[in-house]
């Protein structure tokens, strides 16, 4: 897999497609026949970020860190507990997603489309591929007949499927082809922002690269902006311009992909790198073993949420939550490199190269 050129959409002043401020989702934990709320799962806990037009922003974190919930909040598939989300379509005024009424929400949902993790369960097995891909056009635009058929054929070609196969059902396709169907469906309404939720993690390793390369090609050709969720750092390296690292409902580090890989500023990011599959067995990975399991999201530790597993923790980390603040001040990073660590400027953390043993 070729690495993508990182200079793409990071230029200063590029307008943001999406601006997120203080976004929160707390799910109640209910017990007993009276369904009393006995606690809260802080799935997303005060998250702020922006997505720049034309970029691919990678969102990485362990399972359960809140990545899918962030995506669902952006299209209000779940109602936020708090916060603001502003979407700026290129063909209209900005939309306040959290306050949007039905009409405005409809406009948001046709411009922001999701590619799901598991094509197995996200495609209706009783619909032909023609129906699966054409449905958004039927429902939103009332398209039918030959026009619909032509549109479906065009979409199938775009994602590398044979239009002659449009009367087949999803089960007749391989996993990789099914994900191509999912991508075609997501593209049907000509979206501006694609939310890709671990789109290759349910696929065989051999076809993962094909789907990733398809997404890269489509992004370039259609000028899409992409928010790409994964727990796989090698996918992040291949696909993204910028990276946000999520831990227990919080963003702990955000920056240009280059900076994050060379010079991480949060101990959790450093630890994540030690989990990258090693490309060369003769250069063994110096693995950082994290102490303990990821804490329960219903009991996020006080202070820094990562302190229970952090090899560099100090007393202050148990007391005060560190804000996500600029951390590129050592001359190595670029502007816009943020980390939520009290010691971001003091620690000299290892990047991917160090951990692979080449530095
Ligand atoms: N509808 C829901 N009700 C209750 N808890 C939920 C719901 N959706 C997600 N969660 C919880 O929120 C946390 C974050 O989940 P999720 O966003 O799916 O994480 P990720 O995508 O990073 O694996 C998990 O602990 C999950 O169990
Ligand atoms: Mg998920």
pLDDT of 228 over the 90 cut: yes
- CB atoms closer than 10 angstroms to residue 169: 15
CA distance 112 to 342: 36
Q: Using an 8 Å Cβ cutoff, are 130 and 164 in contact? A: no
How many angstroms is it from 321 CA to the middle of ligand 1? 22
How many angstroms is it from 63 CA to the middle of ligand 1? 9
Residue 271 CB partners (closer than 8 Å, separation 6+): 288, 290, 309
CA distance 240 to 68: 18
69 lines ligand 1 (CB under 6 A): yes
For the stretch 201-219, pLDDT in tens is 889 888 999 999 999 999 9
Q: Which atom of ligand 1 is nearest to the CA of 63?
A: 23
Residues paired with 355 in a beta bridge: none
| Cα torsion through 198, 260, 258, 214, rounded to 10 | 0
Q: Where are the domains of the chain?
A: 16-246, 257-355
Q: Which atom of ligand 1 is nearest to the CA of 28?
A: 4
Ligand 1 pocket: which of 40, 47, 66, 246 to mutate (most atoms <8 Å of CB)? Answer: 66
DSSP string, 97-142: TTT--HHHHHHHHHHEEEE-S-HHHHS-TTS-HHHHHHHHHHHHH-
169 lines ligand 1 (CB under 6 A): no
CA distance 236 to 258: 11
Q: Whose CA is nearest to atom 11 of ligand 1?
A: 43
CA distance 244 to 336: 11
For the stretch 251-304, pLDDT in tens is 999 999 999 999 999 999 999 887 654 444 444 444 555 656 667 767 778 899
117 lines ligand 1 (CB under 6 A): no
* Local structure of residue 291 (DSSP, 8 states): S
11-14 CB contacts, 8 Å cutoff, 24+ apart: 12/335, 14/52, 14/53, 14/54, 14/55
Query: Of the ranges 36-40, 151-155, 240-244, 262-266, which one carries the lowest mean pLDDT score?
Result: 36-40
DSSP string, 252-268: EEEEEHHHHHHS--SHH
Residues paired with 24 in a beta bridge: 45, 82
308 lines ligand 1 (CB under 6 A): no
Residue given tokens 């429902």 in the structure block:
139
How many angstroms is it from 162 CA to the middle of ligand 2? 30
Q: What is the pLDDT of residue 156?
A: 97
Tell me the CA distances in angstroms from 150 to 17, 123, 133, 144, 156, one per residue in order. 30, 21, 12, 10, 10
Q: Which atom of ligand 1 is nearest to the CA of 44?
A: 14
Q: Which atom of ligand 1 is nearest to the CA of 62?
A: 22
- As residues whose CB is below 5 A from the ion ligand 2, the structure lists 68
65 lines ligand 1 (CB under 6 A): yes
Sheet holding 242-247, edge to edge: 112-115, 193-197, 225-230, 56-60, 242-247, 250-256, 338-339, 325-326
- Cα three-residue angle 25-121-134, rounded to 5 degrees: 100
Measured between alpha carbons, how far apart are the two ends of the chain, in Å?
23
Sheet holding 82-87, edge to edge: 36-52, 16-31, 82-87, 95-96
Q: What is the pLDDT of residue 33?
A: 87
CA distance 65 to 67: 6
Ligand 1 pocket: which of 43, 60, 244 to mutate (most atoms <8 Å of CB)? Answer: 43
Q: What is the pLDDT of residue 355?
A: 65
Q: Using an 8 Å Cβ cutoff, are 65 and 296 in contact? A: no
CATH of domain 16-246: 3.40.50.300
43 lines ligand 1 (CB under 6 A): yes
How many angstroms is it from 353 CA to the middle of ligand 2? 28
Q: What is the pLDDT of residue 38?
A: 87
Ligand 1 pocket: which of 23, 63, 64 to mutate (most atoms <8 Å of CB)? Answer: 64
Q: Which atom of ligand 1 is nearest to the CA of 231?
A: 22
Query: Of the ranges 19-28, 87-96, 294-303, 332-341, which one carries the lowest mean pLDDT score?
Result: 294-303
């Amino acid at each position: 897999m070729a690495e993508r050129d990182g200079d793409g959409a990071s230029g200063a002043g590029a307008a943001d497609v999406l601006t997120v401020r203080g976004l929160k989702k707390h799910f109640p934990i209910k017990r007993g026949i009276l369904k009393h709320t006995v606690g809260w799962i802080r799935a997303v806990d005060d998250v702020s970020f922006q997505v720049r037009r034309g970029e691919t922003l990678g969102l990485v974190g362990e399972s359960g860190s809140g990545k899918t919930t962030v995506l669902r909040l952006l299209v209000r598939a779940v109602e936020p507990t708090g916060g603001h989300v502003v979407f700026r379509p290129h063909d209209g005024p900005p939309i306040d997603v959290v306050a949007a009424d039905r009409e405005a929400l409809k406009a948001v949902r046709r411009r922001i489309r999701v590619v799901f993790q598991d094509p197995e369960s996200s495609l209706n097995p009783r619909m032909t591929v023609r129906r699966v891909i054409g449905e958004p056009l039927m429902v939103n635009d009332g398209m039918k007949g030959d026009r619909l058929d032509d549109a479906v054929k065009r979409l199938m070609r775009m994602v590398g499927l044979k239009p002659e196969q449009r009367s087949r059902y999803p089960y007749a396709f391989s996993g990789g082809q099914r994900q191509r169907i999912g991508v075609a469906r997501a593209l049907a309404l000509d979206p501006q922002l694609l939310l890709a939720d671990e789109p290759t993690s349910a696929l065989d390793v051999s076809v993962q690269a094909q789907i990733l390369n398809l997404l890269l090609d489509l992004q370039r050709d259609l000028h899409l902006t992409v928010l790409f969720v994964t727990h796989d750092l090698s996918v992040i390296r291949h696909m993204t311009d910028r990276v946000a690292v999520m831990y227990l409902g919080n963003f702990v580090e955000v920056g240009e992909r280059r900076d994050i890989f060379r010079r991480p500023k949060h101990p959790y990011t450093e630890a994540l790198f030690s989990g990258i599959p090693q490309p060369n067995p003769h250069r063994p990975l110096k693995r950082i073993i994290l102490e303990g399991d990821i804490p329960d999201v219903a009991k996020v530790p006080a202070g820094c949420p990562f302190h229970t597993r952090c090899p560099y923790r100090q007393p202050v980390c148990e007391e005060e939550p560190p804000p996500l603040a600029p951390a590129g001040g050592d001359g190595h990073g670029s502007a816009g490199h943020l980390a939520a660590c009290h010691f971001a400027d003091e620690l000299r953390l290892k990047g991917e190269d160090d951990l692979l043993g080449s530095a």
